[in-house]
Chain A
Amino acid sequence: MAVPERLKQLVDQMPDPDERRMYCTNIDKEKIEAAIAQIAKGGKQYILGLIDMLGAPGSREDVKPHYALHCVINYTLVTKNETMRKEFCEVLAQELSSNRSQYIRSFLCQCLQWAGREEAVPALGKLLSEEGLSDWASMALVAIRKGATDQFLKAWPTSKGRCRLDVIHGLAELAEPAAAAALKEALNGPDREVRIAGGAGLAKLADPSAVYLLLGAADRSSGWERIQQTKHCVVLAEKLAAAGRKAEAARIYQHLQKTRTDPTEKYIRELAEKALAS
């Protein structure tokens, strides 16, 4: 689709990079804002046109549409125009499945991370199996939150490699009860970072049934993983105590008190003793 001439003129109102190739001189706030408002008025067609105008990373042709697209998406938030926000984000989401470059689609994910909501969730979910974009999709989904866990859970059983890490990372960040089984499965997986993510999620979830799983994971690991899983045990204990499940919390602290006997882990033992005494 040809980019409308009027849109090109409006995009040209965005500042030129200065001699340092930055936005530091000749920045006219009113002029930019007026042009952005006009672009917004152009609706979905102009959003699509802006996406068509995007170029290669860092290129001169990319500078103005790149800035304008971010600004117009943010304009919907500044003006609190929910209808416009939704409409524009639907266009961004729809273009995630296009054959545009990975760079452009990563930028669309970034825009959705900024302003997207439920309307973008299914399209972002589809990217969770695409290496090179799964990390972008995961971050956007974590930012949006609502409905994201379902997408991560859908992707989890078949995910592999980097994508699998991005998926479990998302589940750990959101830590919703529906993710408990996947997080437990991750805790016993072959990849260290996946196991750590599983532990982080279970701790954040404050799942009482995870007490012995987490203690076991911490006890059988060494080095970095032991440090992280021990932290997860402590976080779980704190959350359980705060939720009134003092017996389960005490079990964690007692275990840490008993097992962290190495002088370099004395601070963990002391932490547990302090918690038990309080």
Chain B
Amino acid sequence: MERPAFHTTRRKFLQGTTVGAAFMATIVPRNVLGMGEEPPSETVGAALIGCGGRGGGTFSALGKGARRLADCDVKFKSIADDKKIYTDYRKVLERKDIDIVVVATHPGWHALISIAAMEAGKDVLCEKPLCRFIAEGRAMADAEKRFGRIFQIGTYGRFGGNRKIRKIFDSGLLKQCDTVLIQRGGVKVKEWSGMVEYNVTPVPDSLDWDMYCGPAPLRPFNRHRVGGTHRGYWDYEGGGLADMKHHQLDGPAYTYARDKTAPVEVIPYAPPMHPEACMVWGWVELKYADGFTLVFASNEWGPPYDRLNEKNTSESDLLNMLSAEDRKKLDQMPDPPKLLSFLEAVKTRQPAGGNAEVSHRVATCYHLANIAMRCGRPIKFDPVKEEIIGDEEANRLVYQPMRAPWRL
């Protein structure tokens, strides 16, 4: 296992670091800058929880300024020393020398670890997708607010969003719109499906299977459930839709201000879904209270989506819906504020561009789509209470019971 050795002094850290064109910034944590907290040491400590797959790449977004003090992964069972290498993230969060936690486990753990990290006073950079179900996303946003921590999801589509269109929606001048935005393909439906027939094999010695499953049911071990193929199981994620949609939707959700609310009606077209393994589906329509319709078409199963045509998505289309007087008012309004990168947010203690609240609203879309398909029926959603209306059993997928001792 290769780990870069970071030896960063406070001076070097304050000199800054670049982390890529999308979010070049200087990482200056609160305790180093003395912004309300005393520096615990001359260095900035960070931990990576979930070291396979995207882990190393996500961690590298912190730049060279962060000292990687701990690596935690359930597959380190045979090498864990609880000093630098861990299998239990709770022990990592107890450490007082760690300020930032990078979460790159399977998504069934994203919410619990991110929330616990914020409860422990850490800032969090978490891989996408945000979480496994809607109530987890709400709890992440609540923890972010309650503990005043910085959270950024590991996808950055919104940083390239259209700020002129965002301004139209933010203005409040456009009360209703009949925009239809159709996203076709690109969500790896077949690639990230689960096996319905599989071999049960002994758990590898190096793997803590109980901890891997975590809040999900403890099932017989099947090799396809670990590694990147975990994406194909409802226990840990939500197929290609949950895995890829946060990438695909983050930019449009910012542009069309879909990160301030949630759909009110969801209509699915899919075959009856398997209870554990994600499988093929056709399309889902998600309708908002203001008339905006979002369509996810898989392009991997069933007839091509043709119920609606895309319309009124451009800036000029939307401006045309405003009166001349409203367009003048719009001109006089300030532009939307610049989105802060994770590192800028850590420095300023202002919310990051991809904070938990807005990310939760993005995640709600793909979770609702999956719920409607799994339930095999249209659903109506209350964006304020964040509950499905009049469908007790569908609501069981909004707030899914967890296996003890894990809870939101």
Contact = CB atoms under 8 A, between A and B. Distances in A.
B184 interface: no
B404 interface: yes
Contact of A17 (B148, B196, B280): B196
Contact of A266 (B37, B200, B270, B403): B37
Contacts of B271: 23, 27-29, 32-33
Interface residues of A, number: 67
Nearest to A79: B377
B301 to A, nearest CB: 7
Given A23-B193, A29-B302, A58-B199, A110 B405 contact: no
Report the contact-size class of chain B (Cβ under 8 Å from the partner): 35 or more
A170 B392 CA distance: 19
A268 B301 CA distance: 51
B207 interface: no
A115 B394 CA distance: 9
Interface string A70-93: 110010011000000000000000
Given A23-B196, A24-B280, A115 B93 contact: no
A68 to B, nearest CB: 9
B interface SS class: loop
Given A139-B402, A227-B119, A270-B36, A74 B148 contact: no
B197 A169 contact: no
B405 A106 contact: no
Contacts of B375: 74, 77-78
A195 B404 CA distance: 13
A143 B396 contact: yes
Given A74-B376, A135-B217, A227-B120, A22 B404 contact: no
Given A63-B196, A74-B376, A172 B220 contact: no
Contacts of A143: 396, 400-401
Given A224-B93, A267-B147, A197 B197 contact: no
B277 interface: yes
B376 A78 contact: yes
A142 interface: yes
A123 interface: no
Of all A-B residue pairs in the complex, the 6 with the closest CB atoms, nearest first, are A169-B404, A23-B279, A193-B405, A58-B198, A142-B401, A29-B271
6 contacts: A17-B195, A24-B190, A57-B198, A111-B275, A169-B407, A223-B91
Interface of A: 17, 20-24, 27-29, 32-33, 36, 56-60, 63, 66-67, 70-71, 74, 77-78, 103, 106, 110-111, 113-115, 117, 135-136, 138-140, 142-143, 165-166, 168-170, 172-173, 193, 196-197, 200, 223-224, 227-228, 230-231, 234, 238, 263-268, 270-271
Interface of B: 31, 36-38, 40, 90-91, 93-94, 96, 116, 119-121, 146-149, 189-190, 193-200, 217-220, 222, 232, 270-272, 274-275, 277, 279-280, 301-302, 375-377, 392-393, 396, 400-405, 407
